[in-house]
Amino acid sequence: MKVDLTGKTALVTGASRGIGEAIARRLGETGAKVLCAARTLDAVQRVAAEIGEKGVAVQLDITAPDVRDRIKALLDEHTNIDILVNNAGVTEDDLFIRMKPEQWDRVLRTNLDSAFHITQEVAKKMIRARWGRIINITSVVGLSGNPGQVNYASSKAGIIGFTKALALEIGSRNVTVNAIAPGFIQTSMTEAMTDDAKKKLEEKIAAKRLGTPDDIAWAAVFLASEEAGYVTGTVLNVSGGLYT
């Protein structure tokens, strides 16, 4: 299957590195225009430039109070956003007993609230256009739980509920809503792990390796494709069998 998204516009949040960068690059290869968004301007400029003439750098803090206005402006400037990838996310791990309200707030605001604000603006236009693909990056931790990550697991479980409920609401408008649940992927989010911890983890993964950002990007390209139009409300587990 060769995915052709020529004529479509995608917005990928957290496209400055890691999984979001890989998704932006792979979507760029399908012919889509790709709006690469993150806070670090020079990083999104680099990614957009490497995508080529269809890459657009967007400096965007998804937790900013004016995020809805920024999305409205992008929708006006680029006519529409046909593919939305809610990828940007953060961790602030701590044992629950020690977790500060600010750690809870920052993670929930970035990982869950932002998806509500951004998706609501984008979905209105997708519904009108009768075509859309919304892809939310959750985590297997949202399904399994993980000690030290009560805030993160809550945000990722929230994204799964968000995905399923919204899919039911707007499925009849030819707008699909799906989530991808990565396992452990080699990015800056996981690079702090010691070699020993990585080795122990690899033993628990059926594929016996950590995932790559491209492992997730291919799943996103599939869900964005015309051919995936009958797939909605699902959580695609891309964890090498870490959690089944």
Single out the residue of 8, 168, 4, 3 nearest to residue 83, CA to CA: 8
At 20 the three-state DSSP class reads helix
Single out the residue of 161, 158, 207 nearest to residue 186, CA to CA: 207
Contact window for ligand NAP (CB under 6 A) among 15-23, 119-127, 143-151, 218-226: 15-23
Question: Per rule CB under 6 A, is residue 51 in the interface with ligand NAP?
Answer: no
Residue 229, CA distances (Å) to 121, 147, 235 in order: 21, 36, 15
Question: Per rule CB under 6 A, is residue 205 in the interface with ligand NAP?
Answer: no
Question: Per rule CB under 6 A, is residue 244 in the interface with ligand NAP?
Answer: no
Contact window for ligand NAP (CB under 6 A) among 28-36, 37-45, 194-202, 220-228: 37-45
Q: Helix crossing, 41-51 with 18-29: angle to 10°? A: 30
Contact window for ligand NAP (CB under 6 A) among 50-58, 169-177, 185-193, 195-203: 185-193
Question: Would you say 219 and 180 are in contact if contact means Cβ atoms under 8 Å apart?
Answer: yes
Question: Would you say 113 and 97 are in contact if contact means Cβ atoms under 8 Å apart?
Answer: no
- In the residue annotation, 230 being an active-site residue is answered as no
Among 9, 110, 119, 178, binds ligand NAP (CB under 6 A): 110
Shortest Å, Cβ 67 to ligand NAP: 9
Shortest Å, Cβ 213 to ligand NAP: 6
Question: Would you say 211 and 240 are in contact if contact means Cβ atoms under 8 Å apart?
Answer: yes
| Structure-token pair, residue 182 | 């990565």
**Active-site residue list:** 152
Footprint of ligand NAP (CB under 6 A): 13-14, 16-20, 38-40, 43, 60-63, 87-90, 110, 137, 139, 182, 184-185, 187-190
